[in-house]
Amino acid sequence: MISNARPGSAHLDTFAYDHLPPRELWPELIFSLPELQYPERLNCVAELLDKMCATGFADKIAIRSQNESWTYAHLLATVNRIAHVLLEDMHLQTGNRVMLRGANNPMMAASVLAVIKAGCIAVPTMPLLRAKELGVIANKAEIAAALCSENLREEMDLAVQANPVLKQVVYFNHQGEGGLEACMAGKPAEFAPVDTLAEDVCLISFTSGTTGMPKGTMHFHRDVLAICDCFPRSTLRARPDDIFIGTPPLAFTFGLGGLLLFPMRIGATAVLLEKLTPESLLKAIDDFGATVCFTAPTFYRQMAMLTKNFKLDSLKKTVSAGEALPAATRESWRQATGLVMIDGIGATEMLHIFISAAGDEVRAGATGKPIPGYQACIFDDNGNVAGPGVVGRLAVKGPTGCRYLADDRQKNYVHQGWNLTGDAYEMDADGYFWYRARTDDMIISAGYNIAGPEVEDAVLKHAAVAECAVVGIADEERGQIVKAYIVLKPEVAATEALRKEIQDFVKNSIAPYKYPRAIEFMSSLPRTETGKLQRYKLRTPA
């Protein structure tokens, strides 16, 4: 068989090359900034870790957890020992995929970095996935080996039993015989990074897609550095003395970037904590003196109601992504903390954030502008680039972009070199991008186009409302009607009078035809592990 691998690739196992989409289906990649001029050969972990140790950061704290503090030097030695285990004990070859399973903790982070440093391909998976879902991923990415946290052993073992493709698992955070820590004990603390190409795949991230087969998005060593050199430099403007904290799992690229790669790129500190609640995150911000926080809008909304009991004087910058940030949530966060939220839209396909704004550049209600390094435009219904004021499909391009692992849906995401994220957006005359809805979430009622999030924002401004999701449900007369699912604040009773009051409240703040004709009170809303509302579950209740 003729290998598809690029000449000079470090991959002995050419699976990734064999299953990348053909070049002509890739989005256009642009490297317009001086900081995006990477050499042809590049191992991103060598840049993020070995280089930081060699340039004065060896004794700085890289990672903190509830009970551990790891310096960059300690992280390097740990990563190196794991890399030896991968190659010598597990007999992995460069280019092999390695499944990674763990909540946010230092060993999970070290394992991801070790896989990449050893020239293999990391496939981090969300902690809550079950054996069945792990099997789908393992078969799709042909994964034979896994590193898994001991406390996730149950589903991992079931997945191994049911999927012959999965041949070996080594458990970490586990002191027993045969555990990763035991295997590492005899290994040297030095390991030379495998000399990969900048375009060798190092990460396959599966989308948290709501329907159908999950999609594997393939990312290069270069992409990992590119996201560190875009949003954090231009917009977040973090510094080496910053302390990063937040909720997104390392298996979600929002978390991998925000809670590991971004701090490492500048020699800052990452606080990795498992199982956070709005309350425990606030407490942790105080305990660790965190300065930069990454989480989803719904978390900020809940935290804003609890800030009275905390100091939060260390906190300087807060980043919201994963879902649209309602203007009402931005405002309650500002009132509670004095901080101007940095909203940013990112996507697993793009690896991280590509439209955002911070500080004085923020326009409440808009996501922001394409960050330096990225371009964005709106496509109208005829597939032409639309001018300001037109709602259409958001299209972006930059140094990163969509390459699905063996998937026909590549053609849906990439169009004329642009990445189509599946979002309906509008650009204003100043070049700000305003989120309207997911393209398939637009509600069409009696001929009107209604964006659910706009109605949600109006409902959320009512003092009795804690959370809200708005969807279109089938209606004989109007095609669809607007329905709001509402979680009330703890002390509020769900009455018929309140339903009417909320409807009138919305009619008074946005065009009356958008008001929710149906309202259902809920005790909670269905969400993914990444904090996204699962609107499809509300559209077709079980």
What residue ranges bind ligand 3UK (CB under 6 A)? Answer: 207-208, 253-254, 321-325, 343-348, 352-353, 367, 421-423, 435, 438, 530
Comparison of 284 and 325: residue with beta carbon closer to ligand 3UK: 325
Q: How far is the CB of 502 from ligand 3UK (least distance, A)?
A: 24
Q: Which residues pair with 121 in a beta bridge?
A: 97
Q: How far is the CB of 348 from ligand 3UK (least distance, A)?
A: 3
- As a whole number of angstroms, the distance between CA 434 and CA 441 comes to 15
Q: How far is the CB of 317 from ligand 3UK (least distance, A)?
A: 15
Query: Please, are residues 118 and 86 in contact by the beta-carbon 8 Å criterion?
Result: yes
Comparison of 94 and 329: residue with beta carbon closer to ligand 3UK: 329
Q: How far is the CB of 91 from ligand 3UK (least distance, A)?
A: 33
| Residue that has been written with the tokens 């990225």 in this structure | 374
Comparison of 77 and 324: residue with beta carbon closer to ligand 3UK: 324
Name the residue among 222, 237, 194 with its Cα closest to residue 95: 194
Name the residue among 114, 123, 135, 109 with its Cα closest to residue 16: 123
Query: What's the chain's Rg over C-alpha atoms?
Result: 23
Q: How far is the CB of 123 from ligand 3UK (least distance, A)?
A: 15
- As a whole number of angstroms, the distance between CA 254 and CA 265 comes to 15
In the complex, residue closest to ligand 3UK by CB: 346
Name the residue among 229, 274, 280 with its Cα closest to residue 248: 274
Q: How far is the CB of 249 from ligand 3UK (least distance, A)?
A: 11
Comparison of 348 and 503: residue with beta carbon closer to ligand 3UK: 348
170-200 residues labelled b (16+ CB within 10 A) or e (exposed): bbbbbeeeebbbebbeebeeebebbebbbbb
**26 token code pair:** 């890739």
Q: How far is the CB of 108 from ligand 3UK (least distance, A)?
A: 18
Q: How far is the CB of 126 from ligand 3UK (least distance, A)?
A: 11
Name the residue among 455, 444, 457, 436 with its Cα closest to residue 391: 436
Comparison of 181 and 426: residue with beta carbon closer to ligand 3UK: 426
Comparison of 19 and 438: residue with beta carbon closer to ligand 3UK: 438
Q: What angle do CA 400, 402, 405 make, to 5 degrees?
A: 125
Q: How far is the CB of 350 from ligand 3UK (least distance, A)?
A: 7
Strands 418-427 and 414-415: antiparallel
- As a whole number of angstroms, the distance between CA 308 and CA 316 comes to 17
Comparison of 107 and 366: residue with beta carbon closer to ligand 3UK: 366
| H or E element that contains 323 | none
- As a whole number of angstroms, the distance between CA 480 and CA 445 comes to 5
Comparison of 312 and 324: residue with beta carbon closer to ligand 3UK: 324
Instruction: Give one DSSP letter per residue of 375-406, joined into a string.
Output: EEEEE-TTSSEE-TT-EEEEEEEBS----BSS
Q: How far is the CB of 304 from ligand 3UK (least distance, A)?
A: 17
Comparison of 371 and 502: residue with beta carbon closer to ligand 3UK: 371
Comparison of 61 and 281: residue with beta carbon closer to ligand 3UK: 281
Q: Is 404 exposed, middle or buried (0-12, 13-18, 19+ CB in 10 A)?
A: buried
How long, in residues, is the chain? 542
- As a whole number of angstroms, the distance between CA 456 and CA 301 comes to 13
Q: How far is the CB of 452 from ligand 3UK (least distance, A)?
A: 12
Strands 243-246 and 292-295: parallel
Q: How far is the CB of 518 from ligand 3UK (least distance, A)?
A: 24
Comparison of 57 and 413: residue with beta carbon closer to ligand 3UK: 413
- As a whole number of angstroms, the distance between CA 463 and CA 457 comes to 12
- As a whole number of angstroms, the distance between CA 533 and CA 515 comes to 20
Comparison of 74 and 265: residue with beta carbon closer to ligand 3UK: 265
**195 token code pair:** 């000399």
**488 token code pair:** 């009330």
